[in-house]
Chain A
Amino acid sequence: MEKRIVVDPITRIEGHLRVEIEVKDNVIVDAYSSGTMVRGLEIILKGRDPRDAWAFTERVCGVCTTVHALASCRTVENALGIVIPPNAELVRNLMFCTQMIQDHVVHFYHLHALDWVDVVSSLRADPKATSALAQSISSWPKSSVGYFRDVQKRIKAFVETGQLGIFANGYWGNPSYKLPPEANLMAVAHYLEALEWQKEIVKVHAIFGGKNPHPNYLVGGVPAAINLNESNALNAERFAYVKKLLDDAKTFVEQVYIPDLMAIASFYKDWGAIGGGLENYLVYGDLPTNGYNDPSSFKFPRGAILGRDLSKVHEVDTADPDQVKEFISKSWYEYDSGKNSGKHPWEGQTNLNYTGPKPPYDQLNVEEAYSWLKTPRWKGHAMEVGPLARMLVGYASGREDFQEVVNAALTNLNVPVSALFSTLGRTAARGLETQLVVGWSQEFFDQLITNIKNGDTRLSTDYMWEPSDWPLMAKGVGMTEAPRGALAHWIVIKDKKIDNYQLVVPSTWNASPRDTKGQMSAYEASLIGTPVADPEQPLELLRTIHSFDPCIACAVHVYDEKGSYVHQIQTF
């Protein structure tokens, strides 16, 4: 007998996600993923100044803050033919790296770790054994017996108050937790350390963008100015500050995050065969080293992989009307061209049409529409986006830096290549790309300093800043790699104003409902076959869903003056 289990809210994510699963003989046999919140950013953007769009779209997500601002600036620059100065590209890259490093570390410790780490078990750990374990895997200085004893004391005092706060009603003691107590204690200590450290690295955003979350961006470059002889601008002190933060980040990632990831993964190798899901991967690529208009210079290469065939990387073109299309067969919308047609984002059109159950409800009707998310497809294929996709495309593109970290991890864990296509692989890929990114951030910083030494201090261009210079009509698309995967915005500018603005975001690719052909998207596909030890405790489901790092802030819709909905943006 199949049993329907509803998990809503899925916690430790951004946004509002509901998952309904069918379980038979302790294995998930069917799954439905639903986004349950919309805000309506697209109608709000319509008619506004395109140069302001970055700020509106940045508010799509405060967890992966910056990514929409970056995509938006690129979209407007693409439409208006603006090429930003090399230093602006480098500063944007540094902000990108900062975001990815902070986001991935926070995901690992604060959003994902509690799926693998039993906090209560850490109370039984021997601080000596914990210290020995920590010192055997890393040279991180905070690893003495006394240090772990103090952490344990603190957690114990906390638990004894009887007020468990964020740890209340967790799945502690579930048989799926496999770590020995000392590994649990080490992870709990690092949970707290990472919480303290993550607020440091984002200061890079504050220096270049004035604040974090939601630092400032600028169409045409970045808003800061360089003047080595001025206290009111980016000077040697500011750059020294950035350098220190980047160095500390590299140390933290290399001495804490990666060793922890590998240590924890070594107890969960069986998850290298669970949660694989789709076999197709999509990457837009990012981190240009020769300007955004030269994708061949990207540190993260662009491309698609089909059927897990790593011998071929397919070309991706987001301006091609036949490549990216969005479907609404199982979403709460209508198209004038029919419920089963697909539309390229430049032509995007949505009539919002909630047909779900009247709240409060217990179960969605999955035979019909069941989500506010649309369903994007690339050449008709369901694609997974995110860290695993990026590592695979880098690997398959023959990039030695990617191959080196991937092969080292496989050897370290003693698992086959096939283990990449899994829940474990996804979680590991996130760490491995962080390892690459901390290294690249040093290169970008050094290049920026070299450019300044050589006399180039430009950080923005005023080309096409004035709307009076703009053509009557312009179209643009801007892409980036958000921490959660391929992100693109599409704009149509008419009479100096936004005529149409669309976003197709990573979690839309991954979390969307089924398409016209009944093909599942990544979340649903990856859950099929997942074992569930105790159906009352959805721990295994959380492991796989969290391995994607969900970010469901909204599926945004536009309606015209008459009140009928005509467009949609889907966002994290």
Chain B
Amino acid sequence: MSKNQKTYYDLAIEKGYSRRDFMKFSAMMAALLGLESSSIGQVAKALETKTRIPVIWLHGQECTCCSESFIRSSHPLVADILLDKISLDYTETLMAAAGHQAEKSLQDTIRDYKGKYILAVEGSIPLNNNGVYCCIGGKTFEQIVEEAAKDAYAVLAWGNCASAGCVQAAKPNPTGAVPIHKMISGKPLINVQGCPPIAEVMAGVLVHILTFGQIPELDRLKRPKAFYSRRVHDTCYRRPNFDAGLFVQSFDDENAKRGFCLYKMGCKGPVTYNACGVMEWNNGTSFPIKSGHPCIGCSEEGFWDNGPFYTHLTNFPGFGIESTADKVGLGLGIATGVGIAAHAISTNIRKRSLINKVNGKPELEKNES
């Protein structure tokens, strides 16, 4: 084992933590990962000796937009992730080996890093017709996921395909496409939603696990709260236009040129939880609404069937143009099973002072108001 790169243990000691702290951290990590107490030593050893956590990245029914998004990450840079942070042992998009040699890489990691590798899945799993709609190396994707998930310590479901089935699961779902959580249980699983997810969100979830040694807090749809706890509507810089009743009436009209609200053009921001309005895309360059197109709601389950995209949201209870977004929040809260009270509080930007009181951050409110 070379010491050219610092292990997690080295880093912890360097930062002033004791060996005891490190063991505590390892125990916490094992607990978070749902491992038995006998595994704590293993986790500690893994962190102590392995410089990079092995990652197996499988591709099922997908379009590779998640991989493409991942390589757009600017912090950290994807080259730094690949060379310094993880060991991406299997990914059909980037790996040098093909065929048997690729299979070998997959099997080697499953065998040698039992219980210690992250399984990342891009794409859904077709179950109809015994899975013949997606085969790799002569095996169905269903078989492959089952084998790879068995000894993974955590599963990352990249994008809407792996989280919710995405476009191929839209009605009538001809191939019987299902998301990963329908297949896997008893493992920590994170749905990193979006079509695709924002690059820095993907990298952020990985970095969260690697840096803090824990699975980030998740919402009830298993999405990391750090990136999916806010509605696009509530973090949208065009929100004041909504509140003031200033709407784009048709694309490229005078109101569009003034950046008014896209609600009437079908914007799904009021029913979509994502970080677009906060982080923006491509290292903060823009996001759909900023570039004049309504949000299509790509981080939500079943968004393909919630259209048409250019029809505004009248089918949510109590929501009309004259009504406030609070009621949308209520309707959606019921629809998605999110706690109504919590939802109404956390999503209402005009009750920011209350939110901040609840969260104990009064100074934030002063800055914003």
Q: In the bound complex, do residue B102 and residue A11 qualify as a contact, i.e. CB atoms below 8 Å apart?
A: yes
Q: In the bound complex, do residue B292 and residue A360 qualify as a contact, i.e. CB atoms below 8 Å apart?
A: no
Residues of A525-572 contacting chain B, CB below 8 A: 536-538, 542, 553-554, 557-559
Q: In the bound complex, do residue A9 and residue B175 qualify as a contact, i.e. CB atoms below 8 Å apart?
A: no
Q: In the bound complex, do residue B286 and residue A223 qualify as a contact, i.e. CB atoms below 8 Å apart?
A: no
The distance from the CB of B36 to the nearest CB of chain A, in whole angstroms, is: 26
Q: Does B173 contact A (CB under 8 A)?
A: yes
Q: In the bound complex, do residue B167 and residue A114 qualify as a contact, i.e. CB atoms below 8 Å apart?
A: no
Q: In the bound complex, do residue A166 and residue B286 qualify as a contact, i.e. CB atoms below 8 Å apart?
A: no
Residues of A within 8 Å of B171, CB to CB, are 44
Q: Taking CB as reference atom, which chain B residue is nearest A565?
A: B174
Q: Does B183 contact A (CB under 8 A)?
A: no
Scoring B residues 161 to 199 as 1 if CB is less than 8 Å from chain A, else 0, what string do you get? 000001110111111010000000000000000011011
Please indicate which of the listed interface residues B136, B286, B311 has the most CB atoms of chain A within 10 Å of its own CB.
Answer: B286
Known contacts A49-B309, A163-B87, A169-B96: A225-B252 contact under CB 8 Å: yes
Q: Does A60 contact B (CB under 8 A)?
A: yes
Segment of A74-82, A228-236, A295-303, A440-448 in the binding face: A228-236
Scoring B residues 251 to 295 as 1 if CB is less than 8 Å from chain A, else 0, what string do you get? 110001111000000000000000010001111011111111100
Q: In the bound complex, do residue A161 and residue B52 qualify as a contact, i.e. CB atoms below 8 Å apart?
A: yes
The distance from the CB of B10 to the nearest CB of chain A, in whole angstroms, is: 13
> Complex Cα distance A207/B196, Å?
17
The distance from the CB of B226 to the nearest CB of chain A, in whole angstroms, is: 19
Known contacts A63-B68, A356-B132: A220-B137 contact under CB 8 Å: no
Q: In the bound complex, do residue A361 and residue B257 qualify as a contact, i.e. CB atoms below 8 Å apart?
A: no
Q: In the bound complex, do residue A224 and residue B291 qualify as a contact, i.e. CB atoms below 8 Å apart?
A: yes
Residues of B63-116 contacting chain A, CB below 8 A: 63-69, 71-74, 77-79, 82-83, 86-89, 91-102, 104-105, 108
Q: Does B51 contact A (CB under 8 A)?
A: yes
Q: Does A379 contact B (CB under 8 A)?
A: no
The contact of A52 among B74, B126, B309, by CB within 8 Å, is: B309
Q: Does B319 contact A (CB under 8 A)?
A: no
The distance from the CB of A72 to the nearest CB of chain B, in whole angstroms, is: 13
Q: In the bound complex, do residue A36 and residue B134 qualify as a contact, i.e. CB atoms below 8 Å apart?
A: yes
Q: In the bound complex, do residue A359 and residue B102 qualify as a contact, i.e. CB atoms below 8 Å apart?
A: no
Q: Does A362 contact B (CB under 8 A)?
A: yes
> Complex Cα distance A431/B297, Å?
37
Residues of A348-377 contacting chain B, CB below 8 A: 354, 356-362, 372
Residues of A within 8 Å of B82, CB to CB, are 165-166
Q: In the bound complex, do residue A208 and residue B95 qualify as a contact, i.e. CB atoms below 8 Å apart?
A: no
> Complex Cα distance A359/B114, Å?
26
Q: Does A221 contact B (CB under 8 A)?
A: yes
Scoring A residues 115 to 137 as 1 if CB is less than 8 Å from chain B, else 0, what string do you get? 00001000000000000000000
The distance from the CB of A569 to the nearest CB of chain B, in whole angstroms, is: 11
Q: In the bound complex, do residue A214 and residue B136 qualify as a contact, i.e. CB atoms below 8 Å apart?
A: no
Known contacts A8-B99, A55-B309, A230-B258: A213-B1 contact under CB 8 Å: no
Chief secondary structure at chain B's binding surface? loop
Q: In the bound complex, do residue A6 and residue B293 qualify as a contact, i.e. CB atoms below 8 Å apart?
A: no
Q: Does A262 contact B (CB under 8 A)?
A: no
> Complex Cα distance A43/B63, Å?
18
> Complex Cα distance A203/B51, Å?
33
> Complex Cα distance A154/B83, Å?
8
> Complex Cα distance A76/B310, Å?
15
Residues of B within 8 Å of A220, CB to CB, are 251
Q: In the bound complex, do residue A16 and residue B258 qualify as a contact, i.e. CB atoms below 8 Å apart?
A: no
Count of interface residues, chain A, beta-carbon cutoff 8 Å: 110
Q: Does A199 contact B (CB under 8 A)?
A: yes
Residues of B within 8 Å of A223, CB to CB, are 251, 291-293
Residues of A326-366 contacting chain B, CB below 8 A: 354, 356-362
Q: Does B22 contact A (CB under 8 A)?
A: no
Residues of A within 8 Å of B100, CB to CB, are 536
Residues of B110-144 contacting chain A, CB below 8 A: 126, 129-141, 143
Q: Does A202 contact B (CB under 8 A)?
A: yes
Q: In the bound complex, do residue A358 and residue B168 qualify as a contact, i.e. CB atoms below 8 Å apart?
A: no
The contact of A210 among B143, B251, B256, B281, by CB within 8 Å, is: B281
Q: In the bound complex, do residue A214 and residue B64 qualify as a contact, i.e. CB atoms below 8 Å apart?
A: no
> Complex Cα distance A48/B305, Å?
10
Q: In the bound complex, do residue B308 and residue A51 qualify as a contact, i.e. CB atoms below 8 Å apart?
A: yes
Residues of B within 8 Å of A465, CB to CB, are 250-251
Q: In the bound complex, do residue A458 and residue B174 qualify as a contact, i.e. CB atoms below 8 Å apart?
A: no
Q: Does B59 contact A (CB under 8 A)?
A: yes
Q: In the bound complex, do residue B96 and residue A460 qualify as a contact, i.e. CB atoms below 8 Å apart?
A: no
Q: Does A158 contact B (CB under 8 A)?
A: yes
Known contacts A8-B137, A233-B258: A169-B63 contact under CB 8 Å: no
Residues of B within 8 Å of A49, CB to CB, are 307-311
Residues of A62-104 contacting chain B, CB below 8 A: 62-63, 65
Q: Taking CB as reference atom, which chain B residue is nearest A59?
A: B167
> Complex Cα distance A111/B96, Å?
8
Q: Taking CB as reference atom, which chain A residue is nearest B1?
A: A162
Residues of A258-287 contacting chain B, CB below 8 A: none
Q: In the bound complex, do residue B72 and residue A110 qualify as a contact, i.e. CB atoms below 8 Å apart?
A: no
Segment of A178-186, A190-198, A391-399 in the binding face: A190-198
Q: In the bound complex, do residue B99 and residue A166 qualify as a contact, i.e. CB atoms below 8 Å apart?
A: no
The distance from the CB of B350 to the nearest CB of chain A, in whole angstroms, is: 21
> Complex Cα distance A468/B231, Å?
33
Q: Does A211 contact B (CB under 8 A)?
A: yes
Please indicate which of the listed interface residues A60, A206, A220, A554 has the most CB atoms of chain B within 10 Å of its own CB.
Answer: A206
Q: Does B313 contact A (CB under 8 A)?
A: no
Known contacts A360-B138, A360-B139: A157-B97 contact under CB 8 Å: no
> Complex Cα distance A211/B292, Å?
11
Residues of A within 8 Å of B91, CB to CB, are 166
> Complex Cα distance A196/B344, Å?
41
The contact of B304 among A44, A202, A216, by CB within 8 Å, is: A44
The distance from the CB of B262 to the nearest CB of chain A, in whole angstroms, is: 9
> Complex Cα distance A462/B252, Å?
9
The contact of A362 among B64, B71, B138, B293, by CB within 8 Å, is: B138
Residues of A within 8 Å of B136, CB to CB, are 8-9, 16, 36
Residues of A within 8 Å of B134, CB to CB, are 16, 36-38
Q: Taking CB as reference atom, which chain B residue is nearest A542?
A: B98
The contact of A40 among B64, B79, B168, by CB within 8 Å, is: B168
Q: List 10 tightest A-B contacts by C-beta distance, closest first.
A: A232-B259, A62-B65, A40-B174, A170-B96, A210-B288, A210-B291, A216-B293, A223-B293, A7-B99, A157-B4
Task: Give me 30 A-to-B residue pairs in the complex whose CB atoms sit less than 8 angstroms apart, sorted by A's number.
Answer: A39-B174, A40-B175, A40-B177, A51-B310, A62-B63, A119-B96, A154-B83, A161-B1, A163-B52, A169-B102, A196-B77, A203-B282, A203-B285, A212-B281, A214-B298, A215-B291, A216-B293, A221-B251, A223-B292, A224-B293, A226-B257, A230-B257, A232-B259, A233-B257, A359-B140, A359-B143, A361-B135, A538-B98, A553-B64, A554-B63
Chain A residues with CB under 8 Å of chain B are 6-16, 18, 36-41, 43-44, 48-49, 51-52, 55-56, 59-63, 65, 106, 110-111, 114, 119, 154, 156-158, 160-171, 192, 195-196, 198-199, 202-203, 205-216, 218, 220-221, 223-227, 230-233, 241, 354, 356-362, 372, 457-462, 465, 536-538, 542, 553-554, 557-559
Q: A49-B311, A209-B291 are in contact. List 19 more A-B contacts (CB 8 A).
A: A16-B134, A37-B135, A37-B141, A38-B133, A61-B63, A65-B65, A114-B96, A169-B96, A192-B79, A199-B71, A210-B292, A211-B288, A212-B72, A213-B65, A354-B129, A356-B132, A359-B131, A361-B138, A553-B62
